[in-house]
Amino acid sequence: MLNTLWAFMILTGVVYGGFTGNMTYLSNAALDSAKEAVQLCITMLGIMGFWVGMMKIAEKAGLIEGITKALQPFICFMFPKIPKGHKAMKYIAANIVANVLGLGWACTPAGLKAMEALAELESERGNAAYQKDSCKIRYASDEMCIFLILNISSLQLIPVNMIAYRSQYGSVEPARIIVPAILATAVSTGVAIIYCKWKACRHP
């Protein structure tokens, strides 16, 4: 669907540019946009590498373990079916911390590890859809769905990525987005928590 939408938009732009005699401007805009895309990718690659490294150092230093213990009441509240001490707890906590700090890209490795751990948990429970010899996982478990909802709606105290984007494109005050981001993500996180617990009550 998205491929079709993008193809339609590009084709419409090219046809419109041809009919209005603006092909030169269209070509220049395409080249300039390609240049900006590469520059933005390089900038974000550096930011991502820095914060992924910081998260790895924090993990080696035992900070993630300490944060996991601090987040244990919240994680147990949201994931009551996950056994205490399961490795999924550590990855979920690391993902939450990265999201709260606004490190969307840095939280990806922890998120993938959390999903793998949750799949292993379902396999340990004897769920045939998650056995190692299965061709593929046929559906997401309750814990996986809750984790995805929290991940998407996560509270952000410092939206690092958004600040980097605004700085890249010449914003005078790139950090001015912090307060609106906190308010918006606080609301989204609250709604996500209420929705997850409501669904859990309806389908225990």
| Digit-coded pLDDT (tens) for 22-38 | 778 778 877 888 887 78
How much is the mean pLDDT over the chain?
Answer: 80
Rounded Cα gap, residues 3 and 169, in angstroms: 27
0.85 surpassed by pTM: no
Is the pLDDT at 201 greater than 90? The verdict is no
DSSP state of 7: H
Let me know if 26 is exposed, middle or buried by CB neighbors in 10 A (0-12, 13-18, 19+): middle
Please give the pLDDT value at position 191: 93
Helix ranges, the chain (H): 2-19, 23-60, 63-78, 87-100, 107-124, 142-152, 160-168, 178-202
For residues 94-121, give the mean pLDDT: 80
Which of the pair, 118 or 41, is modelled with greater confidence?
Answer: 118
Q: Which helix (DSSP H) or strand (DSSP E) does residue 106 occupy?
A: none
Q: Write the single-letter amino acid at 148.
A: L
| Digit-coded pLDDT (tens) for 129-167 | 565 554 455 677 888 889 989 888 888 887 877 887 787
Please give the pLDDT value at position 187: 94
Is the pLDDT at 4 greater than 80? The verdict is yes
Reported residue count of the chain is 204
For residues 46-72, give the mean pLDDT: 77
